[in-house]
Chain A
Amino acid sequence: MQRKAITKSGARSGLKRARAGHPAAGGTLRQKLETNERLLRETGHLFGLEKLRRKETDPGTYEAVWQILLNICNTAHVVGCRVSSSPIAAEGGDALWSLHLPTGEAVCTSRGIVSHPGLLSLLLRSYIESGYEDNPGIRPGDIFENNDPHFGGIHSADFQTTVPIFAGGKLIAWAASVTHVMDAGFVLPGSIGFMNPDCFSDGVPVVAERVGENDRFYPWYEKRMRSRTRVPDWTMGDARGRLAGCLTIRERVLALVEKYGLDFFEDVSREYIEDSRRYAVSRVRTQATPGRIRKSNFKDLAMAGKRVLLPQQNVDCLFNLPLELTIDRSAKVAISLRGASGWVPFGENITPNALVSGMLNAYSHMVGFDMFNWGAVAAWRLEDPPLGSWANPYSANYFAASGVAWAPAVVWMSSLYEAFGRLYWSRGFVEEVAAGGATTMTAEFSGVNQYGLYTAGLTLEQACNGGPARAIADGETSAWCIYTPNADFGNAEVSELYYPVVYLGRNLEPDSGGYGKFRGGLGHTAVWLVKNTSGIEYQCGCAGIRSKVCGNHGMFGAYPTWPDRAAYASGTNLKELAEAHRPLLHERGDPERPTIGKDIKAEVIEPNCIAPFVTPGQLHEWDVIVHPVSGSQALGDPLERDLELIRKDLDDGLERERIASEVHGVVAHFDEKTKHWSLDAAATQKKREAMRAQRKARGVPFREWWQREREKILVKENMAEAVLAMWRSSMQLSPAYADELRAFWKLPDNFGF
């Protein structure tokens, strides 16, 4: 292999070097894209790579260069987040940088939000398919950007910046980035636009366009951000952060090319992707079982009677989020959402492209931990979701809103965790089993901050849940997030610098990880005192929550985690309590007698709010918010939970006596002197035997229940309108699903809800 030494010239501007040079290699990008697809079809290998020549001949260098590329992308993450300085990027790391082939396929990605590489790949591909090579052309120093879901984005708060990398006049790669901005110019402040009724309220659009050249943003781009987003310094900080990270990738990749040669770089960057495809296939083949997994899941969005924007939003919605996963003989994975319910008049619709990227997110968490890039997509196929559903809305409503498109998708993705957990269990890889995931209830503040300036944005409270229960242990507490492997809720003290709030509490929430042999990792509750402001709104947002229903995650007999609910109070007596040096409000407390309802006085107390919602008016000094963030799901029969685990949780205040006694069936005693719990093993065994006998006594044969339940379905007994509307749209959009539902309950052929 020919290598070149790094010289001073290697540190010159990549822009200068790109222009120095060679004519572009033959063939248009569109032709290359077509060739790539033909080769995959004909050979079953990406780029027709039946052999990984570079890997086979020099595996050491192959691995070393992979590590260098990882390092380059992760360096871009650090640089970009530091330059950005916005709370979401700088404090929460909610961002990603990646390296792509000229035809778009992701080669390597940084840490951060791993749901983005797939979308960035498809965005770059869309440039080619739209003829950007000819018009407007792709030149060294160009900056292209998008945040429009119609053309490759997920939701407009996620800005996607892409920078071409040229060497000697030839496009050799792309550097790309996504950051989640603090305010996207939605109709309401912030970046979790669940309330957006249509795409016209989805914020400032950047529509797969060139937004700069010669490594600089156009002045009119900055003007647009300044006039159409509420916190433009942060928005532009993010833009500069994305660009700085992309330029970091470009400079370092060009240095790498100079050292190892362009031929080597071009060869290995394709081999890494084919290698990743092979890895995806082999992980499934060696650890899963062919067959079919089905998992229903549901998510509510109950907005009737709340503050909404348009009359058609005065409605309760329930999403049907079905998952059918099949693995064929060659270990290819096919995923279907047959039965998905219809689009909603809120910002919670998602495009199929974004779901492909979400699928890659789940893949990277549950299956493919190494060499993560576009390769897995060739082994995993997402069937087009039903036309007109929340997962494929544009055929029915091209103006559907996607302000927080992730919301139904992350809840759906949770089923993929459990699906693979079941597959791993069947093969004995118990260490890889996971139950379902936690939800993501967000908190956003908008109004005047402690410096007298307008502010709007997201706390990162939701980005640090409990992790799913394992087959051999409890899930980890406050160390997990479904959309990123880098769970991080940021420092409370730093958040207090960004927003006019003071943390009165950030407590682990007892019993928030479901009830099973192993519980999910626990969530936590933030308690915020509003302080040093003339007024802020609290937006308790939905980035993937359930508030009326539980997740369908009773894996192996566990009870799922409870619904997401928040609380707030305004016109409180907290000032008097503080001045009297009395305890304030520091925790959520008992769900039937919450602390907010008994320990303080206030003009308005809302102790059990169905999320999501926006406070009807502004909150002011000494008002208070209780914001619980969920734990993850449990696994196994709760009567099989180990006594020592229960005793420890009781001692640590992580389990309540009622749950230990009534759900886990233990006989426990609290010693007032030692302040410790002890469990009576013999009495517990007897009690558990009695509870099992009670289950058998009150359980009815399924067939009997089926007959009674069928009659209730026929008359739609105790079914909320949101449930009926969901079934109507699911059955209309997926006739085969409707047929199966009717066949299961033996309903008339013309039956509908």
Chain B
Amino acid sequence: MAQYDVSEIERLIDGQLSWTRVQEIMKDAKDADRFEKWVAILQKRVPWKEKILLPLTTALFIVRKGEKRIVKCRCGHEFGDYRVNWKLEALIHVRETEEQLREVYRGSEQPDPSWIQIREYICPGCGTQLEVEAVPRGCPPDFEFLPDLDTFYREWLGRPLPDEVEFADKTLDTIRTWRTDRR
């Protein structure tokens, strides 16, 4: 089983290893303690203290905050319960006209806005573009990743989290509380 120094994994994450070395790492058996080292490295890099439970994207993490498990941006902005699609708490900018699409796609590179809209999900805290969707009108936003955190920690890592919660998508529970009128 391969073992790597934390410093080498940091250089791997930061794209500082040679391609030859990256290929060696890719071809070798995977290191069993990667997750622990990965989380430790990321924890050092964020400006807040909440414990990272699982990295979701380059900017978003599931963290423990008090009794709750929430999605948090590296900048510190919080999106709420990890079982609710975090996009519901993001800013969104949608390109749905030719003029709006032109800022990114022009001429023969432009998709048809009556077929597709480009949705940009922005962190209200730092302005990072967190995800982009290219979907037709009517498509609910993708809830890309809903991890089964308790199974992961209890059965795969062998160190259960102290407070088990139901593994369920709670997005529609939130939607049910929303008003459809714009008052």
Contacts and interface: CB of A to CB of B under 8 A. Distances in A.
A562 B105 contact: yes
Interface stretch (A371-379, A439-447, A577-585, A698-706): A698-706
A515 interface: yes
Given A427-B38, A590-B107, A556 B91 contact: no
B111 A741 contact: no
Contact of B108 (A292, A328, A607, A663): A607
A133 interface: no
B11 to A, nearest CB: 10
B93 A426 contact: no
Contacts of B55: 425-426, 428
Interface in A521-571: 548-560, 562-563, 565, 567
Interface in B122-173: 122, 124, 126-140, 142-149, 151-152, 155-156, 167, 169, 171-172
B58 interface: yes
A726 B138 CA distance: 11
Given A294-B143, A708-B182, A550 B138 contact: no
B25 A717 contact: no
Q: Which of A328, A709, A710 has the most CB of B within 10 A?
A: A709
B56 A695 contact: no
Interface stretch (B26-34, B43-51, B63-71): B26-34
A394 B170 CA distance: 36
A550 B101 CA distance: 12
Interface stretch (A25-33, A34-42, A635-643): A635-643
Contact of A741 (B35, B105, B138, B152): B138
B84 to A, nearest CB: 11
A291 B130 contact: no
Contact of A696 (B57, B127, B143, B181): B127
Interface string A401-431: 0000000000000000000001101111111
Interface stretch (A104-112, A152-160, A742-750): A742-750
Contacts of A696: 91, 122, 124, 127
A519 interface: no
Interface of A is mostly: mixed
Contacts of A710: 180
A692 interface: yes
A718 interface: yes
Interface residues of B, number: 88
Interface in A449-501: 471-473
A473 B15 contact: yes
A746 B138 contact: no
B142 A329 contact: no
A428 B38 contact: yes
A289 B138 contact: no
Contacts of B169: 292
A592 interface: yes
B81 interface: no
A720 B94 CA distance: 17
A591 interface: yes
Contacts of A553: 134
Q: Which of A300, A553, A554, A710 has the most CB of B within 10 A?
A: A554
A216 to B, nearest CB: 44
Nearest to A723: B136
B8 to A, nearest CB: 12
Contacts of B14: 472
Nearest to B183: A707
B108 A287 contact: no
A557 B178 contact: no
B112 A548 contact: yes
Q: Which of A291, A726, A746 has the most CB of B within 10 A?
A: A291
A594 interface: yes
A165 B54 CA distance: 51
Contact of A695 (B32, B129, B135, B140): B129
Contacts of B105: 550, 562
B152 A744 contact: no
B107 A594 contact: yes
A722 interface: yes
A699 B111 contact: no
Contacts of A559: 104, 118, 132
A702 B180 contact: no
Interface string A571-614: 00000000000000000001111100000000000011000000
A298 B113 contact: no
Nearest to A283: B30
B134 A723 contact: no
A638 B130 CA distance: 10
Contacts of A548: 111-112, 115-116
Interface in A272-293: 285-287, 289-293
A550 B93 contact: no
B13 A472 contact: yes
Interface of B: 9, 12-15, 19, 22, 25-26, 30, 32, 34-35, 37-39, 54-59, 87-94, 96, 103-116, 118, 120-122, 124, 126-140, 142-149, 151-152, 155-156, 167, 169, 171-172, 175-176, 178-182
The 3 closest A-B pairs by CB, nearest first: A554-B132, A428-B38, A699-B91
28 contacts: A287-B30, A289-B147, A291-B147, A291-B151, A295-B144, A318-B115, A329-B148, A422-B56, A422-B145, A425-B57, A427-B34, A431-B26, A472-B15, A550-B116, A555-B131, A559-B104, A591-B106, A608-B107, A608-B108, A640-B58, A696-B127, A702-B90, A702-B91, A702-B92, A707-B182, A708-B182, A723-B114, A723-B137
